[in-house]
């Protein structure tokens, strides 16, 4: 049974999307606050959802809040922060079992939604800021996360590469900001930023589950948001990243045994399904050209795969390489892309990649989070395409479409994180 999709405006810059899936045994409510990425506000924004999900005016401590959630058959409330193109997304998520599975038919979904609304709009404030002890704990966790980024060299290289790929663009900013700004945060300054977000941010709410509670939850949140003095600043958008006139080449030395190389290709190609199939053939699957040739056949990389940031028009190739093989690996990656541009891929390669995408998209509706994330990405891009519709579009992608997508790619950046001795 396909998911039933409906999106309604419930406030100034606030939309409620209902995703009815009768197979779901749980109900999930997600609230996303969207705001432009900025180096000045990334860190303070990153700490806010983790503060909000741990208490509220009605439930002033995590212990009190968790005790109440436990009474609702083990309901949960979580916070997170993510990055979507040029946009920072602050999220609160609440989940519980469907009302019909309770012992006495209690409306726990509605009660959970009310608690979530309280966490977002009526936080635990002491004086002119968030409760100090809780804030300082979350601030330290943020600082620890920022410091720990360098420990995972693959993701750290990716972060550093993005700073060069998106130079002078919002997308260059790390989703959690940097230590310089994070260290300056106070309970009062975080609270002031929170109030600005609540008033001005784009707000997208998603309900995923059986339909018997959707309207009640929408009404609860609509009433809650109606009490907020909104000064909505408009929907958030991302823009295609312009290709540089000359390829940007950056090599940085650090204490690593294995070099990390990130190559970025930019495009303005607007057939998203065609370029996703092209990416799958090229490097996004275990049967792709990059995996089978650069890694397996030639043994030039420990790992080598491609990924797509369709919000910014960037295709990445991410690889782990011995420093002595960096040049050879880059040349072979470019050689495999050239093969794609010349149509040098078999019908089997194309159909296997197509099946991999179909299997992935068919699995979207298996989980509440994946369904919500799918339609959130769709709404952000101004679309409402279901997985079934995208599969239908995929079936119509031709060999020429794939070749055209490949030919649109232009090398923009080559970033290498290598060992200090190798760099010397």
Domains of the chain, earliest start first = 4-226 (3.30.830.10), 248-423 (3.30.830.10)
User: Does residue 329 carry a pLDDT above 90?
Assistant: yes
At residue 213, the pLDDT reads 92
| Tens digits of residue pLDDT in 285-312 | 999 999 999 999 999 999 999 999 999 9
Tens of pLDDT along 333-388? 999 999 999 999 999 999 999 999 999 999 998 888 999 999 999 999 888 889 99
In this prediction, residues 237-258 reach a mean pLDDT of 94
Q: Is pLDDT at 2 greater than 80 in this prediction?
A: no
* pTM of the complete model: 0.94
Mean pLDDT of the chain: 95
* Cα 299 from Cα 289, distance rounded (Å): 13
> Would you say residue 168 has pLDDT above 60?
yes
pLDDT at 74 over 60: yes
Find residue 87's DSSP bridge partners.
36, 84
Average pLDDT over residues 80-87: 97
**pLDDT score at 413:** 98
Query: CA–CA distance from 131 to each of 174, 187, 190 (Å)?
Result: 26, 7, 11
Instruction: Write down the pLDDT at residue 422.
Output: 59
For the residues of 178-200, what is the DSSP string, one character each? -HHHHHT--HHHHHHHHHHHHHH
Judging by DSSP bridges, how do beta strands 410-419 and 248-254 pair with one another?
parallel
Return d(Cα 42, Cα 163) in angstroms, integer.
14
| Residue 174, number of CB atoms within 10 A of its CB | 18
- Distance, in Å, from the CA atom of 370 to the CA atom of 372, rounded to the nearest integer, reads 5
């Amino acid at each position: 049974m396909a998911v039933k999709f409906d999106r309604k405006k419930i406030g100034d810059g606030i939309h409620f999307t209902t995703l009815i899936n009768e197979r779901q045994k749980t109900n999930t409510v997600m609230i996303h606050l969207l705001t432009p990425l900025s180096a000045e506000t990334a860190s303070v924004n990153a700490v806010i959802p983790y503060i909000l999900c741990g208490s509220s005016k009605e439930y002033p401590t995590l212990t009190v809040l968790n005790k109440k959630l436990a009474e609702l058959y083990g309901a949960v409330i979580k916070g997170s922060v993510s990055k979507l193109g040029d946009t920072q997304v602050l999220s609160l998520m609440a989940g519980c079992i469907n009302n019909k599975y309770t012992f006495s038919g209690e409306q726990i979904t509605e009660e959970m939604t009310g608690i979530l609304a309280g966490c977002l709009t009526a936080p635990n404030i002491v004086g002119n800021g968030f409760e100090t002890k809780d804030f300082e704990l979350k601030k330290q966790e943020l600082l620890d996360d920022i410091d720990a980024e360098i420990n995972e060299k693959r993701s750290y290289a990716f972060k550093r590469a993005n700073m060069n790929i998106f130079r002078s663009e919002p997308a260059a900013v790390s989703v959690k900001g940097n230590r310089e700004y994070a260290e300056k945060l106070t309970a009062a300054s975080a609270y002031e930023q929170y109030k600005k977000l609540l008033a001005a941010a784009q707000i997208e709410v998603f309900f995923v589950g059986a339909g018997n509670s959707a309207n009640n939850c929408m009404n609860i949140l609509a009433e809650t948001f109606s009490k907020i003095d909104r000064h909505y600043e408009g929907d958030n958008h991302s823009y295609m990243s312009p290709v540089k006139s000359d390829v940007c080449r950056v090599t940085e030395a650090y204490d690593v045994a294995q070099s990390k190389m990130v190559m970025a290709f930019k495009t303005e190609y607007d057939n998203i399904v065609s370029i996703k199939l092209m990416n799958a053939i090229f490097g996004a699957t275990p049967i792709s050209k990059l995996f089978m040739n650069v890694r397996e056949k030639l043994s030039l990389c420990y790992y080598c795969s491609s990924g797509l940031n369709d919000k910014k028009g960037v295709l990445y190739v991410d690889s782990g390489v011995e420093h002595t093989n960096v040049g050879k690996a880059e040349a072979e990656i470019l050689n495999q892309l050239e093969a794609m541009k010349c149509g040098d891929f078999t019908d089997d390669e194309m159909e296997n990649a197509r099946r991999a995408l179909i299997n992935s998209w068919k699995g979207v509706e298996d989980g509440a989070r994946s369904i919500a994330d799918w339609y959130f990405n769709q709404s952000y891009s101004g679309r409402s395409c279901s997985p079934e519709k995208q599969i239908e579009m995929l079936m119509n992608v031709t060999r020429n479409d794939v070749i055209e997508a490949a030919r649109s790619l232009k090398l923009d950046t080559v970033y290498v994180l290598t060992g200090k001795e190798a760099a010397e």
